[in-house]
Amino acid sequence: MIIPAIDLINGKIVRLYQGDYGQKTEYPLSPEEVAASYFEQGAKVLHLVDLDGAKDADARQTKRLKEIISQASMPVQVGGGVRCQKDVDTLLEIGASKVVIGSLAIKQAELVKGWMQEYGKDKIVLALDVQINDKGEKLMPTHGWIEQSDVSLEQLIEFYGAQNIAQVLCTDISKDGTLTGSNVSLYKEMKQKFPTIFWQASGGIGSLDDIANVARSGADGIILGRALLEGKFNVKEAISCWQDA
């Protein structure tokens, strides 16, 4: 599945390079128009990220998110700085089909595990970003990749229980925003280890060949951001490539 992404700062579409707010590219496009274009080309799901909310809970773009979701013709999964149950409730109330939870899923795994039971696992996407060290360990930094944790991707999934997880959005941090290709071996390994989980691959996609490689890895979906905004290919071409891989 092709999942186009829109990242927002102050209501405008942006992209960060490897999560760095100091390396920001702003695009002079309306989120509503871009979402409509993606839908018309065949997208079935939109990935929306509130980067203001991710940085500062008090700066959450709730009103803007609601406007975009209400005009989107497809389900919208939303993430960015979910820190408490009220955040989950708010996002679901404004129309998010799924809530994407990152740092909290690592730092307060017991809490998030309870939410997955309360809301149903289909309402939660775990956003698990990995930094692979020289030992090959898939460790997961938190808080916008600023703080390092000593928890591995496999350990965290085993804590939740693969049967309790519907979807994981997994990003190799070293690839994010680079357009240099995705970590195909990561997704191949994770899909083989945890086949019941719907794996969303993310980071590094710069060409249709990259999409085909991820499709062949066994990943179930792929998040596309910068490459679409910069016209490397369009959603329709990406969908065709994914299906033909």
**Taking the alpha carbons of 175, 130, 223, 63 in that order, is the dihedral positive or negative?**
negative
Question: Do 76 and 69 form a contact (C-beta atoms < 8 A)?
Answer: yes
The H-or-E segment that residue 243 falls in is helix 235-244
Catalytic residues: 7, 129
Higher-pLDDT residue of 174 and 132 is: 132
Query: Which amino acid is located at 237 in the chain?
Result: E
- pLDDT of 177 over the 70 cut: no
Domain hosting 67: range is: 2-244
CA dihedral sign, ordered 140, 143, 147, 151: negative
Q: How far apart are CA 27 and CA 40, in angstroms?
A: 20
Task: Give 191-227 pLDDT, tens digit per residue.
Answer: 999 999 999 999 889 999 999 999 999 999 999 999 9
DSSP string, 46-97: EEEEEHHHHH-GGG--HHHHHHHHHH-SS-EEEES---SHHHHHHHHHTT-S
Provide the domain count of the chain. 1
13: domain CATH number is 3.20.20.70
Q: State pLDDT tens for residues 43-101.
A: 999 999 999 999 888 899 999 999 999 999 999 999 998 999 999 999 999 999 999 99
Residue 1: helix, strand or coil by DSSP?
A: coil
